[in-house]
Amino acid sequence: MLDDDIKKILLLDRTTGGNIIWATAERSTQPIQLADVESIVPRHEKNRADQKSRTRARAEIFTPPEVCRIQNNLIVAPYGNRWQEFIDAKFLEITCGEAPYITSRYNAVTGAPIPFTERVGLLDEKLRTIERETSAVADRLEFVTRAVKSIYGYEFQGDNLFLARRNVFETVSEFFRDELRLKPPEDFLPHVAEIISWNLWQMDGLTNSPPFTDNANLFGGANCLIMDWATREPVEFVTLIGRARR
């Protein structure tokens, strides 16, 4: 269970300065409020009619962990023993849904929980690497922060984006509680939530703008912002396209 202060951070939209919006067929541009959060359920808990209409409207079909595992293994393998490089390597899950390529706390198709050691997400693999390669508390805090900063995702529908953010947050907080059995300093998890609120953002991937806005709209430019953690300066995502390492 998340406390309200964390939920509030996980609802922030860093481009608009408000909350993320629903951007679903029923509730389009309304912001998601704190009180709405309890009503958000993952796709596997939605009724069949909802699932069908979301598939029709937004091509919402989630990838099973067996498939994520095969693809993510191809990404991870080349790093070999260069574990620090792997922790810092940046990954983006485009149209991330509930973010199964980042962390697989549950099977996104069936909802079955997946134990930490069997998870297939890239953040999951980074956390297992940190557990294996580090032992000092300060190192663990430092590398987990770096791992979270390295993982990005964007999504159109606000409820999915909130679930993706919550999944990343819960993965990190469970890692400290259940795997490391370590209570991080008071400000650590709120800081993780802040990072997540920048790194998983709401965007229409066809316009690089928040859903239902674009650069020709009445309010002027609305290119989505993400954080460059090296310079601590926000950058327009659109300016990075084509610059990724091949």
Which residues form the interface with ligand SAM (CB under 6 A)? 58-63, 93, 95-97, 100, 108, 155-157, 160, 204-206
In this complex, which beta carbon is closest to ligand SAM, that of residue 195 or of residue 224? 224
- The nearest distance, CB 17 to ligand SAM, in angstroms, is 20
Nearer to ligand SAM, 33 or 55 (CB): 55
Q: Of 164, 156, 20, 149, whose CA–CA distance to 95 is shortest?
A: 156
Q: DSSP states of the chain as a string?
A: ---HHHHHHHTB-TTTSSB-B--STTTTTPBPPGGGGGG---GGGS-HHHHHHHHHHH---PPPHHHHHHHHHHHHGGGTT-HHHHHH--EEETT-TT-TTT--SB-TTT--B--GGG--SHHHHHHHHHHHH--SHHHHHHHHHHHHHTEEEEESSHHHHHHHHHHHHHHHHHIIIIIS-----TTHHHHHHHHHHHHEEE-BTTTTBSTT--TTSTT---PPEEEETTTTEEEEGGGGTT-S--
How many CB atoms sit inside 10 A of residue 197's CB? 20
Nearer to ligand SAM, 87 or 120 (CB): 120
C-beta of 93 vs 194, nearer to ligand SAM: 93
Please, what is the minimum distance in Å from the beta carbon of residue 198 to ligand SAM? 17
Q: How far is the CB of 179 from ligand SAM (least distance, A)?
A: 25
* 221-225, long-range: CB < 8 A, 24+ apart: 222/15, 222/16, 223/15, 224/15, 224/154, 225/14, 225/15, 225/201
Give 127 or 163: the residue with its C-beta nearer to ligand SAM.
163
Q: In angstroms, what is the minimal distance from the CB of 35 to ligand SAM?
A: 23
For the bound state, the minimum distance from the C-beta of residue 96 to ligand SAM, rounded and expressed in Å, comes to: 5
- In angstroms, give the least distance from the CB of 182 to ligand SAM: 31
Q: Which one, 36 or 204, has the nearer CB to ligand SAM? A: 204
CB of 29 to ligand SAM, least distance (A): 15
Select 8 or 67, whichever has its Cβ closest to ligand SAM.
67
